[in-house]
Structure 1
Amino acid sequence: MGHSDEYTNSFRNVSEEGEILERQILAFNKRFLEVYIVVSLICLIANLLIIFVTLKYKRLRHEKLNIIILNWAIINCPFVLSVPITFGLAVYLTHLTERSTFCFVNHMEYTLFLMDIILIVILTLYWYTKLYHTEKHKKFDQHIKCVLIFLYIFLISLTALNIDACYNSRMFTVIGLVLVLTYLAFMLFMPIINIVHAVKKRRLVDYSNRKNVPFMLSNILFLSHLPALLAVFNVPLFGLPTILILRSIAFCIGTLNPVYFLVVLYLCDRNYNTFLKHVFSCRCREYNDELVEPPVSYNNGIENI
């Protein structure tokens, strides 16, 4: 009888501890959601600034690199909005939201993130071929619009697959597997491209005048996702509160890429700097493309100022 009472009390204590832990996690998630909504709005503003200034001034659209960056910002807008929606549904409306609806929003988030990564890879390859493989770059440059159109068709197709999977009770979809493989491939691709670039740039005649803003952007995105990977691998080393805090910080660092991109474009790209200054000073209407210095031309990847 005594053993039975001890077992009952032990079970009751474990149950109470579990409930307390669940309440603590829920309270933390609610606070994190509030912070993440603010982060998402900041990212949205940064994306809209990049989109606005690129669409406003034709000079920026002369370079295909900026067209790729424009499309990245366009895709990233719904992505940064979808993440807090998904998280909010999970925290507040788990019992009120249909499984199929939550599934679709969640998988759209995966799809948009996948598109973000693919566009960054395209941006990196475009920069790399322009620097080291002139003939291949010419072909790439001629077909870049077709590549972007194909990507949007790919996005629509994945969306259709998401709808079919979520509304026909198939939680595991192709998009999940494709995203994981693409993400891992990207995390391997960036160190490799950095090593190759470090070796090859020594052979260039004048590397000091190279325009490496696209490469900076792709490296920033790569580096911003490293904390999340480190947080995952270091989970066994910390307690639950520390794990939650580390994951939250890593998640915010990885989400703030639009802000990093805007800062890099403003500081390192002459044309973006000029046009963004006029946007920030609210003088867009009194400013024309003709007042900007002529676009930089390249001779085998070397800037001609």
Structure 2
Amino acid sequence: MVNINDISYDTYFRILLELLTVVGLISIVANFFLIFVIIKYKKLREDTTNLIFLHLNIMQVVILIGTLITQRIEIQYEFSSASKVHARVFCILYQIDVSVLLFGILGVLFLLVCDSFIKIYYKNKYQSFGLFCKFALIGFYILPGCIPFILVPYCVSDPYFILLICLIMIVCTAIVASPVIIINIIHAIKKRKLINYKSSNIGLVVPNIFFLLWCPTLTIALLCMFVLSAPIVAAILCVLLFLNPVFNLLYVYFYDSDYKIFLKLCFTCKCNEYSTVNLEDQSVTYNDVNDGVVIS
């Protein structure tokens, strides 16, 4: 039996990268399924929550592809002492990944949490929030597109730049995770008084899944950089984090009736049979007992 302690760091990193590549490709497919059904079907496309969820999936595709590419460039840079061009390309892609995470995914997750809370408890303000989301989403794309090119020179020349990025990640995670925890607590207390409350709550559950995966992964990764050696734990957490889109897909499939209908059509290659389906609930008129029910 091979002892994990006998495996060199380079070999371990290569094995982990190949595993993450396979998992990442599976997650990208899951993202594309969710993107496809939201764009194709009107009932999903008209809902603000689903539009925010759509942009989350798009950003996850970007960060998955970017992470896999940067890690492969890092291997090349480590083992073959590549030129400064490779280092610059690595820094650009690395900064895009970090920017999409910090200003894109975390921002969209915050919007999802606010969307869920306002939709349930402040319905009179929900329309205004929908307009705000459109402008916020534009900003979440502009910032990740501009910041990487500004910070590239520092990434190439400053040896402490990675540490600074880690610190920024911790701060941004704390800023977004704190209101998520608070809203979870408030919702857990107040939802008992709700009438006709649906258990499917994408705006709150999806951020919860992400932070339950991201926070332990970030913590272990930082500890491994400085004081801890736990390669197996770190690898498991990284794989689970990469599987986040798959968990989202499974959640909406099993707990959201609309997504379940449309995803089933995709999985069975019957998308064109309901190309314009809206699946709105039909109005029901109740007559007397003898007449039964008339669906209008």
The two structures have a TM-score, normalised by structure 2, of 0.81
Matched, 1:200 2:190: yes
What code does the residue aligned with 1:67 have?
Answer: L
Question: CA 1:235/1:75 → structure 2, altered by over 3 Å: closer, same or farther?
Answer: closer
Question: CA 1:161/1:177 → structure 2, altered by over 3 Å: closer, same or farther?
Answer: farther
Matched, 1:140 2:129: yes
Q: If you compute each CA radius of gyration, which structure gives the higher value, 1 or 2?
A: 1
1:165 to partner: Cα distance: 4.1
Q: Give 3-state SS (helix, strand or coil) of 1:93's partner.
A: helix
Runs of 5+ consecutive residues of structure 1 not aligned to the other structure: 1-20, 298-305
Q: Distance in 2 between matches of 1:207 and 1:141?
A: 23
1:276 to partner: Cα distance: 0.7
Question: Among 144, 159, 165, which residue is 1:155 paired with?
Answer: 144
Question: CA 1:288/1:250 → structure 2, altered by over 3 Å: closer, same or farther?
Answer: same
Question: CA 1:23/1:144 → structure 2, altered by over 3 Å: closer, same or farther?
Answer: same
Question: CA 1:102/1:143 → structure 2, altered by over 3 Å: closer, same or farther?
Answer: same
Q: Which residue of 2 aligns with 1:31?
A: 15
1:138 to partner: Cα distance: 2.6
1:38 to partner: Cα distance: 0.3
What code does the residue aligned with 2:216 have?
Answer: P
Residues 182-206 of structure 1: per-residue CA shift (max 9 Å, x gap): 11223333322211111222333x1
Question: CA 1:217/1:235 → structure 2, altered by over 3 Å: closer, same or farther?
Answer: same
Question: Among 92, 101, 107, which residue is 2:76 paired with?
Answer: 92
Q: How does 1:106-117 map to 2 (within 5 A)?
A: 106-114=94-102, 115-117=104-106
What code does the residue aligned with 2:125 have?
Answer: K
Question: Among 266, 290, 293, which residue is 2:279 paired with?
Answer: 293
Question: CA 1:176/1:135 → structure 2, altered by over 3 Å: closer, same or farther?
Answer: farther
CA contact (8 A) 1:190 1:222 kept: no
Residues 7-57 of structure 1: per-residue CA shift (max 9 Å, x gap): xxxxxxxxxxxxxx8971111111111101101101110111111111111
The two structures have a TM-score, normalised by structure 1, of 0.79
Matched, 1:103 2:91: yes
Runs of 5+ consecutive residues of structure 2 not aligned to the other structure: 284-296
What code does the residue aligned with 1:259 have?
Answer: V
Q: Distance in 1 between matches of 2:40 and 2:130?
A: 22
Query: Which deviates more, 32-41 or 143-152?
Result: 143-152
CA contact (8 A) 1:54 1:60 kept: yes
- Please give the root-mean-square deviation of Cα atoms over the aligned residues, in Å: 2.8
Residues 261-302 of structure 1: per-residue CA shift (max 9 Å, x gap): 111111111111111111110111222333x520699xxxxx
Question: CA 1:79/1:295 → structure 2, altered by over 3 Å: closer, same or farther?
Answer: farther
Q: Distance in 2 between matches of 1:175 and 1:234?
A: 15
Q: Between Structure 1 and Structure 2, how many residues are aligned?
A: 271
Q: Distance in 1 between matches of 2:134 and 2:282?
A: 21
Q: Which residue of 2 aligns with 1:275?
A: 262
CA contact (8 A) 1:158 1:175 kept: no
